[in-house]
Structure 1
Amino acid sequence: MRKNEELLQQEEWRLIDQSSLGPMFDALQSFAYDDTLCTSVGAGCSPATARAWVHHETVVLGIQDTKLPYINEGIQVLKEAGYRVIVRNSGGLAVVLDEGVLNLSLIFPDTEKGIDIDRGYEAMLTLIKRMFAEWADQIQAFEVVGSYCPGSYDLSIGGKKFAGISQRRIRRGVAVQIYLCVSGSGSGRAELIRRFYQAGKKSEITKWDYPSIQPEVMASLSELLGQEFTIQDVMLRFLTALKACSGRLFASSLQAEELELYQGYLQRIKERNCKALSMHS
């Protein structure tokens, strides 16, 4: 068994499903959830945990995006298009979340040997290929130039990106996170981010590199596979694949001691957001 498959094979998988909480579920809460679960799993207080989440009309910026010379104008473009704007507490660049985008987190304990970065990415790639077994041979992982938040583990079919994977490590816990564009227009989402960078950077030379967005290199799974997928369809595939990897899959919510941790992490990320965004208001 390959190492990434070993990571997926857990005696128990705990599941927290927040894929249908609706527009009131704030993306800042999501980042606080994953930090809480990293801490809990890392301390051995929780088994490996999978979390599914959906946020409506939200653009998540990376810290680097807040360094754009005309960031206020960029944010204005997003707000005028009806999107909330938050800054995440980890690396990466701007991504679009809406009701057609499913986010999945796999949270593992970072054991004595340690989980190297590629191993976490490969575990998520393996899971996605199992979820979409009929098309597994077509799914490739490489950086899709011209996409938003480009990275070496962009997932694409026919050169068009439908997903991106990131990682966050806290206190001996590792969260591997993916956003899957399930339905809607991939190029429409990319066009929004193209306009954000256009307004936020203009023609300035910047210290940081920002992607030059080509909307046509992004698509949703529904567009790429020629059939209409819903979040529920993909959730069923996710649960089926996860169940095949575990002795026991059980649904759960945060426990009492985790709720306390969560409030602390939520407060921290809210303060960080106020600071990151107020500097430019």
Structure 2
Amino acid sequence: GRGLWLRVFARTEATGWVLGDPQRVAQIVTNLVGNAIKFTKTGGVTVELSRAAGTPGGRIVISVQDTGIGIAADRLERIFQPFAQADASIAREFGGTGLGLSISRSLARLMGGDVGVTSRPGEGSRFELRLDLPQADPPGDERADLRVERAAPSRPLSLLLAEDNDVNVLVIEGMLAPLGHCITRVRDGAEALAALRDGNFDLVLMDMLMPVLDGLSATRQWRALEAAEGRGRTPIVALTANAFDSDVQQSLAAGCDAHLTKPLSLAALLQALAKYARG
């Protein structure tokens, strides 16, 4: 409820393809963005992708800049230690950075890169993920992605997003809001059921792991209520960190129409909307 903004953009020179581990990169960026949001009371967070000039091959830089509380110079390296906090009073108000930054740096170094930070107290912080990745040919399905974007729903959809993780919400809103879709966000399965009773949604994006009432239970209860009250069927797409067959089967058995695995790609999201949304 702090009304923060999230801006995500790529520099014009950041084109072409490099070969890397997209899941690890997504985990690092998610950690950095989550950390930035946690320590930002007003303003917002800017994520920028660029290619480092004058470097051979494919050095990419992903920076996460916030308008938050900032970090004193003598504490900049300490924040990468597990459970380090910038300041005891800040720790009480915002909670620790926990393992997020420590894991992010470790993952980056495993890939031959690094995470660095520049900051001043009161002026926000800028974290940079730097990776030297080999340049690569475009994958064969790049044309398929373009086809998917053309197949995206042509009209604005009314979507219910049931997701307790604020970073995931910002990522999904960042992908779908610019396309004109209206997103109603709830934090758990009980809130999702209440919203479904009151609203009329073209599609539900339902996280499976939520507090109070999980996504599987909420989906089962809603399908039972639809049947009991003779309501039209609302499409529900499961969101989960697991791609195991058993998880997919569980989601479908509970009454979900499809199953998407995080980190979500725009292509997969648009494909699901085009295929399953009402209308």
TM-score bucket of the superposed structures, by smaller chain: under 0.3
Higher relative contact order, chain-length normalized (CA < 8 Å, sep 6+): 1
Larger radius of gyration: 2
Q: Please report the TM-score for the alignment, with normalisation by the length of structure 1.
A: 0.28
